[in-house]
Amino acid sequence: MFFLAQGILLENLIFSVLWFTIRERKGGMIKYVRVFYHSGEEKLRISSPYPQHPWLAAIAVFLQEAVLINSNDVNGKILYEDDSHQFIWLGADEVEEQGVVQTNQYLIISGGRGTLVDPGGIHLFSRVVGLVSKYIDLDNIDNIFFSHQDPDVSSGIALWLGVTRATVYISQLWLRFIPHFGIVDQARIKGIEGLRGSLTLSGGASLKLIPAHFLHSTGCYSFYDPLSKVLFTSDIGAAVFPARGQYLFVDDFKEHLAIMEPFHKRYMTSNKVIKKWISRLAGLDIKMIAPQHGALFDGENVQKFFDWFSRLECGVDIIDSIYGE
Ligand SMILES: [Fe+2]
Ligand SMILES: [Fe+2]
């Protein structure tokens, strides 16, 4: 008993030292370690390469090997669900790859049929296909939506066409370009413009397609799902996390700006285009913003995002500074 008590004391002492050291290094994110330690079990547990070993998990954060996502969510989270419709975020890499931008993939299941949204690059394929299979048989995937042509969105196209019977939808500007990602059956790739503003899903539901051209790609689309009230925005709303700093939902909007604003200033074309895109969202009841990179926005952060984005000067607005003049 004595040795056990000593052990607990020693453990607390070591943890306290570790706690203060990590807090210095990682600022606000340390709260996840604290919740984990005091609650003992699930809740906000760190996802790390060592999920069964809390001490190794804490050390992994210290060594910046862990992702700060709730361990229950690492393998996907249902963002919205009713009797026949689900909007699902398809999880995170438990151990991030250095130098590879983090991406979000989504799956909509409606009437038992699936639509994949920006399923991502080749190197993510094995993880994402495994997660998708958890929710739906691959044979039941009808549509693959590519918001634009970038490799982090669509370079896995040949693999996805190989394991599903789905039709791919992408702006017609890119129809002749994406076959360069691999040998694909071009009869299964269609221009979003041909859909006339909405992608019909099984069971009568449909996604409202919203042009997002020049934000950033010249041929780019976001969409609104009226059932879940989720707005998928593609690269709009993206943030670039620091190494091992990923979180699922924006908590402090002001803090989040530090990893979101620089991306938009450089990758988005101009404030005129931003205002054009926002004007197309008029009248939509948006409960959640789901971007292709970074964290999701819900609650009051939805309006905070639009307030910030509508005022942002970027791209050609600040072209002199981009050219270093
Ligand atoms: Fe992009
Ligand atoms: Fe992207």
List, for residues 71-106, the tens digit of each pLDDT value: 678 889 999 999 999 999 999 876 666 678 899 999
Among candidates 129, 126, 90, 133, which has minimal Cα distance to 248?
A: 90
* C-alpha 235 to ligand 2 mean position (Å): 5
Give the C-alpha separation, 244 to 2, whole Å: 39
* C-alpha 62 to ligand 1 mean position (Å): 31
Mean pLDDT over 219-240 rounds to: 98
pLDDT for 96: 63
CA-atom Rg of the chain in angstroms = 21
Q: How is domain 77-321 classified at the CATH fold level? A: Metallo-beta-lactamase; Chain A (3.60.15)
* C-alpha 296 to ligand 2 mean position (Å): 14
Ligand minimally distant from the alpha carbon of residue 294: 2
Task: Output phi, psi for 301, to 5 deg.
Answer: -70, -20
* C-alpha 45 to ligand 2 mean position (Å): 28
Q: Where are the alpha helices (DSSP H) in 136-189?
A: 151-154, 157-163
Q: Where are the domains of the chain?
A: 2-62, 77-321
Ligand minimally distant from the alpha carbon of residue 102: 2
Residue 50 CA neighbour count, 13 Å, CB half: 11
Q: Is the pLDDT of residue 190 over 90?
A: yes
pTM here is: 0.82
Ligand minimally distant from the alpha carbon of residue 104: 2
Q: Percent of the chain beyond pLDDT 70? A: 77
Q: Is the pLDDT of residue 172 over 90?
A: yes
Ligand minimally distant from the alpha carbon of residue 293: 2
> What is the pLDDT confidence band of residue 162, given thresholds at 50, 70 and 90?
very high
CA 239 to chain centre: 9
Strands 297-298 and 288-291, by their bridges, are: antiparallel
* C-alpha 267 to ligand 1 mean position (Å): 8
Q: Is the pLDDT of residue 303 over 50?
A: yes
Q: Would you state the structure tokens that stand for residue 54, as one six-digit string?
A: 């809390």
Structural contact between residues 152 and 103, judged by C-beta atoms closer than 8 angstroms: yes
3-state secondary structure of 13: helix
Q: How many CB atoms lie within 10 A of CB 56?
A: 17
* C-alpha 234 to ligand 1 mean position (Å): 7
Give the C-alpha separation, 190 to 175, whole Å: 7
Give the C-alpha separation, 90 to 96, whole Å: 15
Q: How far apart are the first and last CA of the chain?
A: 70
Among candidates 115, 156, 154, 118, which has minimal Cα distance to 138?
A: 115
Mean pLDDT over 276-285 rounds to: 98
Ligand minimally distant from the alpha carbon of residue 103: 2
Count, residues in the chain: 325
pLDDT for 76: 93
> What is the pLDDT confidence band of residue 160, given thresholds at 50, 70 and 90?
very high
* C-alpha 110 to ligand 2 mean position (Å): 25
Ligand minimally distant from the alpha carbon of residue 101: 2
* C-alpha 244 to ligand 1 mean position (Å): 21
Q: Would you state the structure tokens that stand for residue 39, as one six-digit string?
A: 């609650």
Give the C-alpha separation, 61 to 30, whole Å: 9
Q: Is the pLDDT of residue 68 over 90?
A: no
